[in-house]
Amino acid sequence: MAAAAGAAVAAATAGQDEDPPLPGPPIGRRAVCSRPYFVVLMVFAHLYVLNVLGLLLFVHISSDDGDPEPGKESPSPAHDPPALPFSPGISSSHALPRLEGIKVGHKQKLELVPNKIHYMKTLSLKPLLFEIPDFLTEDECKLIIHLAQLKGLQKSQILPTDDYEEAMEMIDISQMDIFNLLDHNQDGQLQLKEVLTHTRLGNGRWMTPESIREMYAAVKADPDGNGVLSLEEFKQLNIRDFHKYMGSQKVKMSDLVRNSQHTWLYQGEGAHQVMRSIRQRVMHLTRLPPEIVEHSEPLQVVQYSQGGHYHAHMDSGPVFPETACSHTKLVTNETAPFETSCRYVTVLFYLNNVTGGGETTFPIADNRTYEEMSLIQNDVDLRDTRKHCDKGNLRVKPLQGTAVFWYNYLSDGEGWVGDLDEYSLHGGCLVTEGTKWIANNWINVDPNKRRQLQFQQEMAQYINSGDEDQSEWTVDKSYSDVHVEL
């Protein structure tokens, strides 16, 4: 197929640099195409050129060649190109709206609130990532922090040890299957980076080459001390010894996958007017319909003190037959051994200016290819935001009021959620000085369209039932038992 395609392209371009033939009948061979065919071809060629010119004109109009002050009010509608209109909603085919990035650095104007223009800049295409300065005002940022402090923050933790051990007990998998799972290149040996790549769901401790070697030594897993486990060496191990070792280790906050505190703020009907306003702005920004945005997770507010970090991770997870989405599982009554937070979109807000560090890193943004094993090279782990944040492809500096948003999933080509976008890997760099405050709005969509639509129908019926406390239940209580942090 590829060879045939290449031959076709070569045939189509072979004569582009040659002089055009002289008019008159062909000499020595028949004409390739008839005159009517040639006329039709020229018509389509002219239409194509006009379409290209129209696209270039649109890009020129919607982009801003200068560097205007973000959030500045439009001085005159007659001299400014129109901002992108707000048109949320799912069409009759249930297609999800999805913004276009055009190219890195492209700017487009948005009207998120009346009488004010915001500028949205494309930061990367893989993942599709945007930055919107002055999305929040200084007063709104301070209010969110104040509300979070009033509600109280709790330590953020990936997986508590008890939950981890309980989950491991539920997994019916042989030792040979575990070895094959870890052996990425199937060479019959486990390299350190192969083990590191698959130890993200530990007991909350961030694993490094040094910590893996310490664990090997403690359970006598690597007799020759070369850091490589053969199949025969692995067969001699008792996997429970690893779990016991992990549970016996005292873990410092700096050793955790995530070192922060967080809380959740309600944004549904009856919430503080600022919380409602932010949700409406997110709806305008993403153009996603109210029935999806309103029934997504509450606003998460996170505080990183000096020394705080969050190693690179995905906000959402792939959905396999063995997994279910946390939000739709509540109403679809489907049983699955595992569940994940199906977060179609992430909107992250910076609530303060950080004195030192605290950038958001996207280690592999706009890489030509993605290979999980290439994240760890020569003991340098690009996921490690305490040591190697400066080696990532893209870092976003935290500026008060700025919002960044990206899609965690690709499109399936039919207007719905497709595969997980692995380029959305991101993390919070080490805060070297001061404190960092952020907030997250996650928009939940189940990649299984049937389950998502059933969820929306059930929620609509519940809202229409007239229960006085229904708005509280639909948002806060529906996520009260969800502790999945990816």
Residue indicated by tokens 């800049």: 121
Between 390 and 89, the higher pLDDT residue = 390
Position 130 scores a pLDDT of 98
Other beta carbons within 10 Å of 356: 12
Residue 398 pLDDT: 98
**Is residue 329 over pLDDT 50?**
yes
Q: What pLDDT is recorded for position 42?
A: 38
pLDDT digits (tens, 9 = 90+) for 189-239: 999 888 887 765 456 788 888 888 898 999 999 988 888 999 989 988 887
Do 323 and 351 contact (CB within 8 A), yes or no? no
Q: What pLDDT is recorded for position 57? A: 45
- For the segment 410-434, the average pLDDT, to the nearest whole number, is 96
Eight-state DSSP code of residue 353: -
Question: Strand, helix or coil at 264?
Answer: strand
For residue 415, how many C-alpha atoms fall within 13 Å in the half-sphere facing its CB?
Answer: 10
* Contact between 438 and 409 (Cβ < 8 Å): no
Q: In the predicted model, is pLDDT for residue 45 greater than 50?
A: no
Confidence at residue 162, expressed as pLDDT on a 0 to 100 scale: 55
Residue listed under structure tokens 């906050």? 253
Helix, strand, coil percent values for the chain (each to nearest 5): 35, 20, 45
pLDDT digits (tens, 9 = 90+) for 83-121: 555 555 454 458 999 999 999 999 999 999 999 999 999
Q: Residues in the chain, how many?
A: 486
With CA atoms as reference, report the closest residue to 383 among 237, 139, 243, 199.
199
Q: In whole angstroms, what is the distance from residue 251 CA to residue 164 CA?
A: 15
Residue 2 is predicted with a pLDDT of 41
* Position 303 confidence tier, pLDDT thresholds 50, 70, 90: very high
Which residues partner with 120 through β-bridges? 108
Contact 208, 384 (CB under 8 A): yes
pLDDT-based confidence at residue 48 (cuts at 50, 70, 90): very low
Q: Are 340 and 316 in contact (CB under 8 A)?
A: yes
Q: What is the pLDDT of residue 322?
A: 78
* Percent of the chain predicted with pLDDT > 90: 50
- Using alpha carbons, list the distances in angstroms from residue 45 to 3, 17, 19, 38, 438: 26, 18, 19, 10, 51
